[in-house]
Structure 1
Amino acid sequence: MLNRFKTVTRARFKKTDFNSFLFFLFFAIVIWIFVQFSKQYSEVIEIPVEYVNVPPDKLLLNNPENLQLRVEENGFTVAWFSLFAPSLHIDLSKAEMNNGNLVYDLVENRAELQSQLELDLDENQFLKEALVVKYEQKQEKRLPVIFRSNIAYAAGYSAVNNLSFTPDSIRVSGPDNILDTLSSLVTKPLSLSRVKNDQEGTVYLDTTALPNVTFYQNRVRYSLDVEKFTEGKVQVPIEVINVPRGLNVVIFPKEVVLFFQVNLKDFNKVTASDFRVVVDFNNVRGEQDFLIPEVIKKPDFTSNLRLNEKRIQFIIKK
Structure 2
Amino acid sequence: MRKKPRFKRSSVKTFSFFLIFSAVVWVLVQFSKTYTQLIEIPVNYVNAPLDKSISEDRPDHVDLQLQDNGFSIYYYKIFNPQLNVDLSQAKETGNALVYTLQNHLSEIEQQLKIDFEKSLIVQDEIVVPFQYKKEKTIKVEPRIEVNYAVGYSAEEAVQIKPDSVKVSGPKTIIDSIEKVYTKNISLDKVNDDLDGTVAIDTTGLGALSFYENSVAYYQKVEKFTEGSAEIAIEVINVPKNLNLAYFPKNVIVYYQVNLQQFESVSAADFRVVCDYNEVQRGDDYMIAQIVEKPDFINNVRLNERRIQFVIKR
Give the alignment's TM-score, normalised by structure 1. 0.70
Give the aligned partner of residue 276 of structure 2: none
Distance 1:260 1:186 in 2: 31
Which residue of the other structure, out of 17, 27, 34, is the alignment partner of 1:33? 27
**Consecutive unaligned residues in structure 1, runs of 5 or more:** 235-257, 280-291, 307-318
User: In the TM superposition, what are the counterparts of 1:239-278 in structure 2 within 5 Å?
Assistant: 263-264=258-259, 266=260
Shift of 1:16: 6.5
Counterpart pick for 1:214 among 190, 193, 209: 209
User: Is the contact between residue 148 and residue 190 of structure 2 (CA under 8 Å) also seen in structure 1?
Assistant: yes
1:128-167 to structure 2, matched below 5 A, reads 128-159=123-154, 161-167=156-162
The one of 178, 181, 187 equivalent to 1:183 is 178
Aligned to 2:308: none
Residues 21, 158 of structure 1: CA spacing in aligned structure 2 closer, same or farther, 3 A cutoff? same
What secondary structure does 2:106 align onto? helix
Identity of aligned residues (%): 40
Structure 1 contact 40–74 (Cα < 8 Å) conserved: yes
Residue number in structure 2 paired with 1:49? 43
Matching residue within 75, 83, 87 for 1:88: 83
Larger-gyration structure (1/2): 1
* Residue in structure 1 matched with residue 112 of structure 2 by the alignment: 117
Runs of 4 or more above 6 Å deviation:
276-279, 292-296
Partner of 1:64: 59
* Structure 2 residues without counterparts, runs of 5 or longer: 230-252, 272-289, 301-313
SS at 1:24's partner residue? Answer: helix
Counterpart-to-counterpart distance in 1, 2:106 and 2:257: 66
CA RMSD of aligned residues (A): 3.5
Residue type of the alignment partner of 1:110: L
1:150-174 deviations in Å (ceiling 9; x for gaps): 3232221012654222222111111
Paired AA for residue 34 in structure 1: L
Q: Distance in 2 between matches of 1:59 and 1:15?
A: 71
Code of the residue aligned with 1:32 in structure 2: it is W
Report the CA distance shift for 1:277/1:26 in structure 2 as closer, same or farther (over 3 A): closer
Number of residue equivalences = 261
Checking the alignment, whether the CA contact within 8 Å between 1:277 and 1:293 is kept in structure 2 is no
- Once the two structures are TM-superposed, the CA of residue 39 in structure 1 deviates from its matched residue by 1.4
Q: Is the 8 A contact 1:46 1:69 kept in 2?
A: yes
Cα shift readout 1:249-288 (whole Å, capped 9, x = no counterpart)? xxxxxxxxx9986655x469x779xxx9799xxxxxxxxx
Q: Alpha-carbon deviations, 1:43-101, whole Å to 9, x = none?
A: 11111111111112222221111110011111100111122221211111111101321
Q: Is the 8 A contact 1:143 1:184 kept in 2?
A: yes
CA distance in 2: counterparts of 1:82 and 1:155, whole angstroms? 64
User: Which amino acid is 1:19 matched to?
Assistant: K
Kindly state the Cα deviation for residue 229 of structure 1 after the two structures are TM-superposed: 2.1
Letter in 1 for 2:53: L
Tell me, yes or no, if the aligned pair for 1:44 and 1:71 is still in contact at 8 Å.
Answer: yes
Deviates further, 61-70 or 204-213: 204-213
**1:209-240 residue CA offsets vs partner (Å, 9 max, x unmatched):** 43422222222121223232235799xxxxxx
- Whether the 8 Å contact between 2:193 and 2:219 is mirrored in structure 1 is yes
CA distance in 2, matches of 1:201, 1:293: 36
In the other structure, the counterpart of 2:96 is 101
Match of 1:14 in 2: 8
Distance 2:59 2:299 in 1: 66
Give the secondary-structure state (helix, strand or coil) at the position aligned to 2:8.
helix
SS at 1:71 equivalent = strand
Q: Distance in 2 between matches of 1:122 and 1:41?
A: 14
State yes or no: 1:23 paired with 2:17: yes
Give the distance between the partners of 2:135 and 2:291, measured in 1 at CA.
50
The corresponding residue for 1:282 is none
